[in-house]
Each structure stands twice: as structure tokens, then as C-alpha cells.
Amino acid sequence: MIFNREMETLPREDMEALQLKRLQQSVRHVYENVPFYREKFAEEGLTPEDIQSLDDLKKLPFTVKKDLRNNYPFGLFAVDQSKVVRLHASSGTSGKPTVVGYTRNDIDNWAEIVARAIAAAGGKPGEVLHNAYGYGLFTGGLGLHYGSEKLGMATVPVSGGNTERQIMLIEDFKPTVICGTPSYILNIVETMEKMGKNPQESSLKYGIFGAEPWSMEMRHELENRLGIKAVDIYGLSEVIGPGVAIECAEAQDGLHIQEDHFLVEVIDPETLENVPDGVEGELVFTSLTKEAMPVIRYRTGDVASITHEPCVCGRTTVRMSRVKGRIDDMLIIRGINVFPSEIENVLLQIEELEPHYQLVLTRKGPLDDVQLNVEIDRDVFYALGGDLNHDKIKTIARDIKRQLKNQCFIAIEVNILAPGAIPRSEGKAVRIIDKRKAASV
């Protein structure tokens, strides 16, 4: 099923012409309606007339999460409050949440973007979509919901949690598509297995997973255990929510950016210069059609690269690599940079483990220390009589350490736990427990 394929297959010159026109409109819109942007442009001596080509985007200043917090709650809105029909917010780790607003047109555009994304992932009108993303201030639930309805799918707004009931609904409503964070979907699969059901026998054919980093190995695990094809969906509330980019089911090789609505850049987070295709850096987005809360050169903090290479699916849009993680979540272990998703990739290659893990950061004197907590596979655990001191467990721990050394070049303490010891997620998984601050006060 192809949903409004026109925008996804525009020749490059046409796409760039459309982007330039929309960029000029967006820049004018924020300049005229948001004092924050007008002041920032004035500091650089810029006016909307300075944007004559897509390359001129580089002249504009960046926007960061702190700018949203400093203008809490509605200071970055570019329309009168009477035009705003929806608010979402994401809870930060500290202080006030970041708030985003949508006009009626924004909601319609977002629904269209997500409908395209679901279609690219394999969803078809007339079929059923089980939406296990959280409903509420988080954009996942309602974002997928409106897109699924727009595509013409019967949408089950189940949200996260109450896992056994979800399993009953999957059996009875026979959805072909399931959406949720990969960690919560894994939780559903595990619960099905514990209930003595075979997840592969469900009606599900496609998965649309995202909102958190997940490794290729996690994709294989979910695809095999559920008997589905799983694609990665990316987005962030500041830019719109889910749907900014989506993998196609045909290639599962990079996420197509919905370029008629979002302009992407990748920058070196140190020098703030743009980096070439294929080079990893920080993703930066400029919205091209948003009315209520446009963003100009928003620094996402997410690490990925982009490519202009054509995709086998026929879409002509720029693709981004899977997001490795957030710059803030990158661990520096004795000088080596590593993202939790890279550690996950290694763990999932080791058969005796369950794909549940957490990294505990502590401070030992002046140095940061990391301990990896990971669960042993249920069958292995019972075969060893539930003895975590068994020699076999020590061998597995040594194997994990060796693999982490070989593949991620890090040496960390490994702690193998009983099945179920790590809290299960109903939304975004907590992979890092940072005890460093507590230790230093």
C-alpha cells in the first residue's frame, strides 16, 4: 500500500525547490511572530530576506532544548493561543517539561505524515492496528493513533501496560500491525510465552517500533519471536512527534525522512559545522510546515548519519541511519566512547542471556565506574538449578566481558541476575542508572 507517494518520490530538484519555499515561509513566520527568534536573528544581523537558498540555512542560529524550557510554557508559539488545538509535553530529567502546541493544520499534517509512515511499514487500510504506545502528554499514542485512522486502519488505542489484557485483545481483534517501544513489545512477547502461548501464531505481521534506541540484534530478536517484520520509527515532540522518519518494510535499511515537512542536517556537536553524508553526528531539524510551534535548526542531541543514496523501495527521500543514542547517554569508559545500544548488540548475540539489561554508573574516587546488570535466560537458569554461583554463570560472565572487550573495546564489571530481576518497561526502557550525582553530594 502506498499512501500519497507523490511527496516521497519527488525528483531532488523539485523537493529542494519545495523545501526552499517552505523554509522561507517558516523563517518569516517565526520572525514575525516569535520574539525569541526575532531577537536571535537580530543578534546575527539576519532577516528573512537573507534566506535565498537552502544553503543559507547555515546562517541561522541553532535552537536547543533549553530554549524551550526558558520560554515555558508557550513562549515559542507562533500563533495566537486561540488557534492551538492540542498540547503535548515531554518530561525532562529535571525541572519543567518541554511543551509543544499544534494548530488544526499541524494535527492534519502530522496525521498524514504518520499515515505515510504506517503505510511504508506495511500497514493497510481495512486492517487492525494495535497501538501500545502510551497515550497522554507523550506524543507516541495519539501520534500513531491519528495516522492509523487517517490511513483507514481500525485503531486499537490500548496504550502501554495491562499486558495480559493486551494479549487477549491481540488474540481477539487480530491486528496485523503492532506499535510500541521495542522494550515494551519484548515485555508483551515474554508475557505471551510465560502464559504458554506461541507469539509466532498471532495475527501480527508488522511492527512499528521506536521512541528509544534499539539495536539490530533486538530487531532480529523481536522479528523471530513474534514472526513479524519490524521497522524503526523516529521522531521527537519538539519537531512534531513520531513520524519524522520511518524505515520502509522493503529495505529496512535506514529511515526515510519526511523531507517535505522537515529539513535535516547533521552537525559535529563540537564545531557545530555540517558533516558530509555517511559521517555520524548530531541530527538537527528545521520544521517546514508547522504553524503553532515551528523549530529552526533544532539540535536533537541524537546521533546518526544521513545518505542521499537511492533506496530499493523507490522513495527518493534522504535516509538517516538508526539512532545510536543521545549524546548525553554516551558513556566514556576509560576514554572509550560507547552507547548503550552498542552494548545491547553484544548482549543479544549471547544465547544464554535475556535481552534485559541496565548500566549502573557510579563514581570510584575521581573515576567513573560502570557495572552491567543483565539477566540470564530462564531455561538456562532452571537447568542450573537456579544457582547464580554456578561455574557456568561465571563462564558466561567471562564470555560477556570478552565480547564487550572485542566489539566495544571496553572493560566493565558484569553482574548476572535471575530472570525477571530487571524492571520491565511499559514505555521507554531505563537503561542507565546514574548514581554518580548521589555519590558526589
* Cell of residue 328, nine digits: 548525553
Asked if 138 is part of the footprint of ligand DLL (rule: CB under 6 A), the reply reads: yes
- List 274's β-bridge partners, or say none: 267
For ligand DLL, the closer CB: 74 or 377: 74
For ligand DLL, the closer CB: 326 or 401: 326
Binding mask 287-316 for ligand DLL (x = CB under 6 A): -------------x-x--------------
Cβ burial 30-54 (10 Å sphere, 16+ → b, else e): bbebbebbeebbeeeebebeebeee
With CB under 6 A as the contact rule, the residue among 28, 65, 124, 326 that binds ligand DLL is: 326
* Cell of residue 91, nine digits: 518530561
Type of residue found at 177: V
Residue among 289, 288, 286, 319 at smallest CA distance from 304 = 319
For ligand DLL, the closer CB: 303 or 410: 303
For ligand DLL, the closer CB: 323 or 400: 323
With CB under 6 A as the contact rule, the residue among 30, 89, 226, 233 that binds ligand DLL is: 233
* Cell of residue 382, nine digits: 532452571
In this chain, which residue has its C-beta nearest to ligand DLL?
210
With CB under 6 A as the contact rule, the residue among 147, 160, 242, 427 that binds ligand DLL is: 242
Least Å distance, CB 116 to ligand DLL, is 14
For ligand DLL, the closer CB: 258 or 400: 258
With CB under 6 A as the contact rule, the residue among 160, 175, 199, 235 that binds ligand DLL is: 235
Asked if 340 is part of the footprint of ligand DLL (rule: CB under 6 A), the reply reads: no
Crossing angle (nearest 10°) for helices 340-347 and 216-226: 50
Residues 6+ apart with CB under 8 A from 345: 215, 216, 217, 407
Asked if 19 is part of the footprint of ligand DLL (rule: CB under 6 A), the reply reads: no
Piece of 37-45, 155-163, 228-236, 400-408 that binds ligand DLL (CB under 6 A): 228-236
Residue among 164, 167, 273, 180 at smallest CA distance from 222 = 180
Least Å distance, CB 144 to ligand DLL, is 7
Asked if 215 is part of the footprint of ligand DLL (rule: CB under 6 A), the reply reads: no
Q: Is 298 helix (H, G, I), strand (E, B) or coil?
A: strand
How many residues touch ligand DLL (CB under 6 A)? 22
Asked if 140 is part of the footprint of ligand DLL (rule: CB under 6 A), the reply reads: yes
Residue among 138, 146, 137, 139 at smallest CA distance from 117 = 146
Piece of 29-37, 205-213, 258-266, 382-390 that binds ligand DLL (CB under 6 A): 205-213
* Cell of residue 266, nine digits: 547533521
By CB under 6 A, the residues from 65 to 94 that bind ligand DLL are: 90
* CA gyration radius, the chain: 22
Contact 273, 263 (CB under 8 A): no
Contact 103, 85 (CB under 8 A): yes
The pairing of beta strand 262-267 with beta strand 154-156: unpaired
> What is the binding site for ligand DLL (CB under 6 A)?
90, 133, 138-140, 143, 210-213, 232-237, 241-242, 300, 302, 323, 326
